[in-house]
Amino acid sequence: MIAVLRNPVERNRFFKFMVVGAIGALLDFGVANLLTHFLGMDLVPAGTISLACAIVSNFIWNRYWTYPDSRSRALAHQLGMFTAVNVAGVAIRIPILHYVEPFMLRFFDQGLHMAALNPEFAARNSTLALAVAIVMLWNFFVNRRWTYGDIE
């Protein structure tokens, strides 16, 4: 992580990767909400479709904006690599959400009795923020090394 922050090229790529991830998150939530609220689709299929949309969007943005010099691999092969890294990220995210939220709920339940924040809301969102941060770091470093490892 320190090497990324010291190298201006890698630092720029890291910040672009974060912007792309934020766009992907908005797309993921937007498509899921569109499919569930307006089309009446259940969350599991809607979430699967929305995640697929976010992965494809993130891949396109990363291939052409974050890593424009990474085109030595065939598009389909590189998309498969990128998707595998993201699926592994989901596998990292699920246990974090499952195991950390109860801890955070106890933490906020004890400390927020007098505060305006709802302990459940604070626990859910702080757990999600932690999971997003960890998975974003996983996705960046593994994609940088493996998916986009063909560039200097």
pLDDT surpassing 70 at residue 115 = no
CA 49, CA 57: separation in Å to the nearest integer? 12
pLDDT single digits (tens) 4-53: 778 999 999 999 999 999 999 999 989 988 998 899 988 878 888 998 99
Please name the residue ranges forming H helices in the chain: 2-6, 8-33, 43-61, 75-111, 119-142
Tell me if 152 is assigned to some domain.
Answer: no
pLDDT single digits (tens) 46-82: 888 998 999 999 999 999 999 999 888 899 999 999 9
> Where in the sequence is the domain holding 73, given as residue range(s)?
2-147
Task: Give the largest Cα separation in the chain, rounded.
Answer: 57
Tell me if 73 is assigned to some domain.
Answer: yes
Instruction: Provide the whole-model pTM.
Output: 0.81
Tell me if 24 is assigned to some domain.
Answer: yes
pLDDT surpassing 80 at residue 113 = no
Task: Say how many domains are in the chain.
Answer: 1
Tell me if 59 is assigned to some domain.
Answer: yes
Tell me if 126 is assigned to some domain.
Answer: yes
Tell me if 69 is assigned to some domain.
Answer: yes
Could you tell me the two tokens for 28? 């993921």
